[in-house]
Amino acid sequence: MAGLFESAGGGAAIALDEYEASILRSLEVQLLERIGPGPGGAGDDPLAALFAEGPTEAPADPALARLFPDAYGEPGKPDDEESRAASSEFRRFTELDLRARKRDDALHVIRALDGLGGGGGVLKLPAADCLRWLGALNDLRLTLGVWLELTEDDEQGLYDLPDTDERKPLVIAYLWLGALQESLLEAITD
Protein backbone atom coordinates (compact mmCIF):
# COMPACT_ATOMS: atom_id res chain seq x y z
CA MET A 1 0.00 0.00 0.00
CA ALA A 2 1.20 3.50 -0.80
CA GLY A 3 -0.82 5.65 1.57
CA LEU A 4 -4.07 5.03 -0.29
CA PHE A 5 -6.93 2.65 0.43
CA GLU A 6 -6.95 -0.82 -1.07
CA SER A 7 -9.66 -3.44 -1.12
CA ALA A 8 -9.40 -5.83 1.84
CA GLY A 9 -11.89 -8.64 2.36
CA GLY A 10 -15.06 -6.68 1.67
CA GLY A 11 -13.72 -3.60 3.43
CA ALA A 12 -10.64 -1.47 2.89
CA ALA A 13 -7.16 -1.06 4.33
CA ILE A 14 -4.64 1.75 4.30
CA ALA A 15 -1.06 2.07 5.50
CA LEU A 16 -0.55 5.40 7.23
CA ASP A 17 2.71 6.67 8.63
CA GLU A 18 2.59 8.52 11.94
CA TYR A 19 2.53 11.94 10.24
CA GLU A 20 -0.35 11.06 7.93
CA ALA A 21 -2.34 9.63 10.84
CA SER A 22 -1.58 12.71 12.94
CA ILE A 23 -2.60 15.14 10.19
CA LEU A 24 -5.82 13.29 9.47
CA ARG A 25 -6.65 13.12 13.17
CA SER A 26 -5.90 16.82 13.64
CA LEU A 27 -8.13 17.79 10.72
CA GLU A 28 -10.98 15.65 12.08
CA VAL A 29 -10.62 17.21 15.54
CA GLN A 30 -10.74 20.70 13.99
CA LEU A 31 -13.88 19.71 12.09
CA LEU A 32 -15.47 18.42 15.31
CA GLU A 33 -14.69 21.71 17.04
CA ARG A 34 -16.28 23.61 14.18
CA ILE A 35 -19.44 21.47 14.15
CA GLY A 36 -19.73 21.85 17.91
CA PRO A 37 -21.16 19.66 20.65
CA GLY A 38 -24.58 18.11 20.44
CA PRO A 39 -27.54 19.72 22.16
CA GLY A 40 -28.01 19.12 25.89
CA GLY A 41 -26.13 16.83 28.22
CA ALA A 42 -26.28 13.16 29.12
CA GLY A 43 -29.00 13.73 31.72
CA ASP A 44 -31.47 15.23 29.27
CA ASP A 45 -34.82 13.59 28.62
CA PRO A 46 -34.45 11.26 25.58
CA LEU A 47 -38.03 11.95 24.52
CA ALA A 48 -37.39 15.69 24.55
CA ALA A 49 -34.21 15.12 22.53
CA LEU A 50 -36.20 13.14 19.98
CA PHE A 51 -38.49 16.10 19.38
CA ALA A 52 -35.84 18.83 19.67
CA GLU A 53 -35.94 21.43 16.96
CA GLY A 54 -32.82 22.73 15.33
CA PRO A 55 -31.89 26.16 14.03
CA THR A 56 -33.92 27.82 11.31
CA GLU A 57 -31.15 29.98 9.88
CA ALA A 58 -28.13 28.88 7.88
CA PRO A 59 -24.84 29.01 9.81
CA ALA A 60 -22.90 32.26 9.51
CA ASP A 61 -19.61 30.35 9.23
CA PRO A 62 -19.05 29.72 5.48
CA ALA A 63 -17.55 26.25 6.12
CA LEU A 64 -20.57 25.22 8.19
CA ALA A 65 -22.90 26.73 5.61
CA ARG A 66 -21.22 24.45 3.04
CA LEU A 67 -21.67 21.41 5.29
CA PHE A 68 -25.28 22.35 6.13
CA PRO A 69 -26.59 24.08 3.00
CA ASP A 70 -30.12 25.30 2.43
CA ALA A 71 -32.36 22.60 1.01
CA TYR A 72 -34.27 24.88 -1.33
CA GLY A 73 -33.32 27.60 -3.77
CA GLU A 74 -30.49 27.74 -6.26
CA PRO A 75 -26.90 28.27 -5.11
CA GLY A 76 -25.58 31.66 -6.10
CA LYS A 77 -29.02 33.12 -6.80
CA PRO A 78 -31.09 35.22 -4.41
CA ASP A 79 -33.74 33.13 -2.70
CA ASP A 80 -37.36 34.11 -2.85
CA GLU A 81 -39.44 34.22 0.31
CA GLU A 82 -40.99 30.80 -0.36
CA SER A 83 -37.59 29.11 -0.76
CA ARG A 84 -36.26 30.75 2.40
CA ALA A 85 -39.31 29.62 4.39
CA ALA A 86 -39.08 26.05 3.06
CA SER A 87 -35.33 25.90 3.79
CA SER A 88 -35.89 27.24 7.29
CA GLU A 89 -38.53 24.61 8.03
CA PHE A 90 -36.42 21.80 6.56
CA ARG A 91 -33.34 22.92 8.54
CA ARG A 92 -35.35 23.08 11.77
CA PHE A 93 -36.20 19.39 11.56
CA THR A 94 -33.03 17.96 9.99
CA GLU A 95 -29.92 19.92 11.00
CA LEU A 96 -29.53 18.43 14.49
CA ASP A 97 -29.54 14.90 13.05
CA LEU A 98 -27.17 15.87 10.26
CA ARG A 99 -24.78 17.47 12.72
CA ALA A 100 -24.94 14.38 14.93
CA ARG A 101 -24.12 12.12 11.97
CA LYS A 102 -21.18 14.28 10.93
CA ARG A 103 -19.91 14.33 14.54
CA ASP A 104 -20.28 10.55 14.79
CA ASP A 105 -18.43 10.01 11.50
CA ALA A 106 -15.56 12.26 12.58
CA LEU A 107 -15.35 10.58 16.00
CA HIS A 108 -15.34 7.19 14.31
CA VAL A 109 -12.31 8.20 12.21
CA ILE A 110 -10.52 9.65 15.24
CA ARG A 111 -11.08 6.48 17.28
CA ALA A 112 -9.83 4.30 14.42
CA LEU A 113 -6.70 6.45 14.12
CA ASP A 114 -6.22 6.33 17.89
CA GLY A 115 -6.28 2.54 17.56
CA LEU A 116 -2.96 2.82 15.74
CA GLY A 117 -1.43 3.79 19.10
CA GLY A 118 -0.21 7.25 18.16
CA GLY A 119 2.02 5.97 15.40
CA GLY A 120 1.56 4.67 11.94
CA GLY A 121 0.40 1.31 10.78
CA VAL A 122 -2.10 -0.50 8.65
CA LEU A 123 -5.67 0.47 9.37
CA LYS A 124 -8.25 -2.10 8.32
CA LEU A 125 -11.82 -0.94 7.88
CA PRO A 126 -14.70 -3.38 7.83
CA ALA A 127 -17.24 -2.77 5.07
CA ALA A 128 -19.68 -1.20 7.57
CA ASP A 129 -17.16 1.55 8.42
CA CYS A 130 -16.20 2.55 4.88
CA LEU A 131 -19.22 4.78 4.24
CA ARG A 132 -18.61 6.61 7.53
CA TRP A 133 -15.04 7.25 6.44
CA LEU A 134 -16.21 8.46 3.02
CA GLY A 135 -18.56 10.91 4.71
CA ALA A 136 -15.90 12.16 7.12
CA LEU A 137 -13.33 12.60 4.33
CA ASN A 138 -15.90 14.44 2.22
CA ASP A 139 -16.75 16.79 5.09
CA LEU A 140 -13.06 17.58 5.58
CA ARG A 141 -12.56 18.21 1.88
CA LEU A 142 -15.59 20.50 1.66
CA THR A 143 -14.37 22.44 4.70
CA LEU A 144 -10.85 22.85 3.29
CA GLY A 145 -12.33 23.93 -0.04
CA VAL A 146 -14.19 26.73 1.73
CA TRP A 147 -11.11 27.75 3.74
CA LEU A 148 -9.14 27.89 0.49
CA GLU A 149 -12.01 29.72 -1.26
CA LEU A 150 -11.87 27.24 -4.15
CA THR A 151 -14.10 27.25 -7.18
CA GLU A 152 -14.47 24.47 -9.74
CA ASP A 153 -12.02 26.26 -12.02
CA ASP A 154 -9.30 26.44 -9.33
CA GLU A 155 -8.55 22.76 -8.89
CA GLN A 156 -6.07 22.36 -11.76
CA GLY A 157 -4.16 25.46 -10.62
CA LEU A 158 -3.65 23.94 -7.19
CA TYR A 159 -0.96 21.65 -8.58
CA ASP A 160 1.04 24.65 -9.79
CA LEU A 161 1.12 26.69 -6.56
CA PRO A 162 4.63 27.88 -5.67
CA ASP A 163 6.11 26.54 -2.45
CA THR A 164 6.09 30.07 -1.03
CA ASP A 165 2.26 30.29 -1.18
CA GLU A 166 0.94 30.22 2.39
CA ARG A 167 -2.01 28.08 1.26
CA LYS A 168 0.28 25.26 0.10
CA PRO A 169 -0.04 23.02 3.22
CA LEU A 170 -3.85 23.21 3.10
CA VAL A 171 -3.81 22.61 -0.65
CA ILE A 172 -1.67 19.50 -0.17
CA ALA A 173 -4.11 18.26 2.50
CA TYR A 174 -7.07 19.02 0.20
CA LEU A 175 -5.55 17.07 -2.70
CA TRP A 176 -4.51 14.20 -0.41
CA LEU A 177 -8.03 13.94 1.03
CA GLY A 178 -9.38 13.77 -2.51
CA ALA A 179 -7.00 10.91 -3.32
CA LEU A 180 -8.01 9.11 -0.11
CA GLN A 181 -11.68 9.52 -0.98
CA GLU A 182 -11.21 8.26 -4.51
CA SER A 183 -9.12 5.27 -3.42
CA LEU A 184 -11.62 4.33 -0.70
CA LEU A 185 -14.48 4.49 -3.16
CA GLU A 186 -12.56 2.31 -5.60
CA ALA A 187 -11.65 -0.14 -2.83
CA ILE A 188 -15.25 -0.69 -1.77
CA THR A 189 -16.59 -1.01 -5.32
CA ASP A 190 -14.05 -3.63 -6.43
Instruction: List, for residues 64-82, the tens digit of each pLDDT value.
Output: 999 999 888 776 666 788 8
CA atoms lying within 13 Å on the CB side of residue 109:
29
| Residues 161, 163: Cα–Cα separation, whole Å | 6
pLDDT of residue 1: 42
**Spatial contact of 32 and 106, defined as CB atoms under 8 Å apart:** yes
- Segments making up each domain of the chain, as ranges: 6-189
Q: What is the mean pLDDT of residues 171-189?
A: 95
Residue 118 pLDDT exceeds 50: yes
CA distances from 75 to 47, 69, 143, 145, 164 (A): 36, 9, 17, 16, 33
pLDDT in tens, 15-69: 999 999 999 999 999 999 999 886 654 456 666 666 677 888 888 999 999 999 9
3-class secondary-structure state, position 49: helix
